[in-house]
Structures are given as C-alpha cells and as structure tokens.
Amino acid sequence: MAVKFISTIKENGLGGWCIELVDTIDDRKIVCNNMQQYEDAIEKMGDDYGGDIEVQWQKDDNVTTAHMEEVRMEMAKYKQRYDDEAMKKERVVE
C-alpha cells in the first residue's frame, strides 16, 4: 500500500511560491523553494518507503494564478524527465 504525501503549493511571502511536502506517516515537513528542491525531497522521502508513494496535491487559497501556472509548467517538465528516464530503463531491461 502506497504511503501518502501531501504537497501544498503556497505563497512564500517574498513574491514567489514554495511547496510544503508532508509525509503523512511521520508528519515530516519539508518546504521546497523550487522544483529541484521538491524533486530531491520527494525522492529522498520516497526512498524510505521503497518508492511506493502517492502524492496528493493541494494549494492555499491565496496562491496566485501566475504561480499556479508556473508550478504546473515545472511539474510538466519534471514528469517528462521522469517518463524519459523510465523509458530508458525499460529499454535496458528488454
């Protein structure tokens, strides 16, 4: 059974955004100020559970439309890299 992580998009108070990542098992919280920090954090935290995780996304009410769009674009890039790496691994196994 996958462990649930909650990723909340927030305004950082400095004119930008951040993502608060919470492990629902042990209540660990990490605040990520960019997508690279988020990628590193989710990988590290996910390794504790053998990568068997489910991510629930939410956002604070005050997150701007521009910041939501920026996060969406960054997540699309992350997903594309992840999918590309998975395809490469599949080719090696075949």
Model pLDDT for residues 35-59, shown as the tens digit of each residue: 999 999 999 999 999 989 999 999 9
- In this prediction the pTM is 0.84
Q: How far are the Cα atoms of 15, 69, 77, 79 from residue 82, in angstroms, in the given order?
A: 29, 20, 9, 5
So what's the pLDDT on residue 94?
Answer: 57
| Residue of higher predicted confidence among 72 and 94 | 72
Over residues 6-31, the pLDDT tens digits come to 999 999 999 999 999 999 999 999 99
The domain limits of the chain are 3-93
- Give the C-alpha separation, 66 to 77, whole Å: 17
